Amino acid sequence: MKRPTIADIARRAGVSKGAVSYALNGQPGVSDTTRRRILAIADEIGFSPSSAARALSGARARAVGLALCRPARTLGIEPFFMGLISGVEAELSARSYALTLQVVADPDAEIAVYRRWWGERRVDGVLLCDLRTDDRRVPVLEQLQLPAVVVGGPDGTGALPGVWSDEAAALAETVEYLVALGHRRVARVGGLPELQHTRVRTDAFRAVCARLGLDRGDTVTVPSDYTGEDGARATRRLLSAARRPTAVIYDNDVMAIAGLSVAQEMGLTVPGDLSVVAWDDSPLCRLVRPPLTALSRDIPAYGGQAARLLLDAVAGVRVAAVRTPTGHLTPRGSTAPPRTP
């Protein structure tokens, strides 16, 4: 099939190509009757403007990029990214923007992708995920002047706007809840230490534990790579210690589920012998027994907010960081007062 162009429409409408372009883009310069006639013809022949031609003549590419730099095995099972993507998508398709996705192996490859996208004019802007401490991607994007929004923040984003939530507050709420239940030995299986939000959570954890008078040796954070195996390993280590924790907070849902299994395997009952908290919440947390107490956020809404901010930045609006609602604790069956042995 031959693809229709504005020349086809112009011919059928008996006007110039310029007039068609104005009519299609809602610009002034055509009479209302002409505009309606042109739109009707475009609709009839199923016209969509060539994104290449459009992009080439200085307009936008109408696509934004998302490069994901986590090992594939993590990506596949963590519901977080798919939730984020579906939220981003919903916002983008409403404005008929495309999402260009690329999975990369490491930050250097990711930087190369940004440079390439920029040179190719393939995307109008990018969403930056998994912000790191001293993130080398930030200055590159600033220098390229490629519109970008960080999914995270508010610190460490340089001049880029971030969409963030108060993770320290969410963590404090969690620890306070556990302490109110009577826990004094609370451990944490954290995410990748080089990620900014891991650091925020770890610092907040230390601070709130100190504030509540918990013993520093009883409130450790074990790093992990987010995989179930690593979560299991960390849990085994924690539960084998002489003074084992009575509650563990996991930095993702998959590790929390792995930790639950390990505890049960070691003959501990949840929540009797061990309380378990997952961050973030996901349908998986409701599937296991007992269902997991979790920190819930509306992740698609979070992605939607990021997309909206990015589209504003692309449109040339000066955007500032946006704070989204703080995650809240959803208590389920995996947390209870510790059983005193």
Partner DNA sequence: CTGAAAGCGCTTACAG
> Which residues lie near a copy of itself (CB under 8 A)?
1, 3-4, 46-56, 61, 63, 72-73, 75-77, 79, 81-83, 85-86, 89-90, 93, 96, 98-104, 115-116, 118-122, 143-145, 227-228, 232, 254, 257-258, 261, 264-265, 282-284, 286-289, 300
Instruction: Quote the least distance from Cβ 13 to DNA, whole Å.
Output: 9
* Residue 58 partner contact from a copy of itself, DNA, none using kind-dependent CB cut-offs of 5 to 8 Å: DNA
* Residue 46 partner contact from DNA, a copy of itself, none using kind-dependent CB cut-offs of 5 to 8 Å: a copy of itself
* Residue 340 partner contact from a copy of itself, DNA, none using kind-dependent CB cut-offs of 5 to 8 Å: none
For 115, residues 6+ apart whose C-beta sits below 8 A from its C-beta are: 140, 144
Instruction: Quote the least distance from Cβ 228 to a copy of itself, whole Å.
Output: 5
Cβ atoms of 290 and 334 closer than 8 Å: yes
Cα 136 from Cα 2, distance rounded (Å)? 46
In degrees and rounded to multiples of 5, residue 5 shows phi and psi of: -125, 175
Cβ atoms of 196 and 155 closer than 8 Å: yes
Number of residues near DNA (by CB under 7 A): 32
Instruction: Quote the least distance from Cβ 132 to a copy of itself, whole Å.
Output: 21
* Residue 79 partner contact from a copy of itself, DNA, none using kind-dependent CB cut-offs of 5 to 8 Å: a copy of itself
Cβ atoms of 45 and 11 closer than 8 Å: no
Instruction: Quote the least distance from Cβ 34 to a copy of itself, whole Å.
Output: 22
For 83, residues 6+ apart whose C-beta sits below 8 A from its C-beta are: 282, 299, 300, 303
H/E stretch holding 295 reads strand 293-296
Nearer to DNA, 28 or 267 (CB): 28
Contact stretch for DNA (CB under 7 A) within 3-11, 101-109, 182-190, 329-337: 3-11
Give the helix ranges, DSSP H, for the chain: 6-13, 17-24, 32-44, 51-56, 72-77, 79-94, 107-120, 137-144, 167-181, 196-211, 228-240, 253-265, 283-287, 299-314
The Cβ-side half-sphere exposure at 116, using a 13 Å CA radius, reads 10
* Residue 115 partner contact from a copy of itself, DNA, none using kind-dependent CB cut-offs of 5 to 8 Å: a copy of itself
Question: Which of 5, 264, 296, 326 is in the footprint of DNA by CB under 7 A?
Answer: 5
* Helix%, strand%, coil% for the chain, nearest 5: 45, 15, 40
Nearer to DNA, 35 or 70 (CB): 35
Binding residues for DNA restricted to 57-86, rule: CB under 7 A? 57-59
Nearer to DNA, 32 or 134 (CB): 32
Contact stretch for DNA (CB under 7 A) within 10-18, 139-147, 177-185, 280-288: 10-18
Binding residues for DNA restricted to 21-60, rule: CB under 7 A? 21-22, 24-25, 27-32, 34, 47, 49-50, 53-54, 56-59
For 80, residues 6+ apart whose C-beta sits below 8 A from its C-beta are: 252, 280, 282, 299
User: Using alpha carbons only, how large is the chain's radius of gyration in Å?
Assistant: 25
* Residue 316 partner contact from a copy of itself, DNA, none using kind-dependent CB cut-offs of 5 to 8 Å: none
SS3 240: helix
* Residue 191 partner contact from a copy of itself, DNA, none using kind-dependent CB cut-offs of 5 to 8 Å: none
Instruction: Quote the least distance from Cβ 116 to a copy of itself, whole Å.
Output: 5
In degrees and rounded to multiples of 5, residue 9 shows phi and psi of: -65, -45
Instruction: Quote the least distance from Cβ 283 to a copy of itself, whole Å.
Output: 5
Most distant CA pair in the chain, distance: 89
Residues engaged in binding DNA (CB under 7 A): 3-7, 14-22, 24-25, 27-32, 34, 47, 49-50, 53-54, 56-59
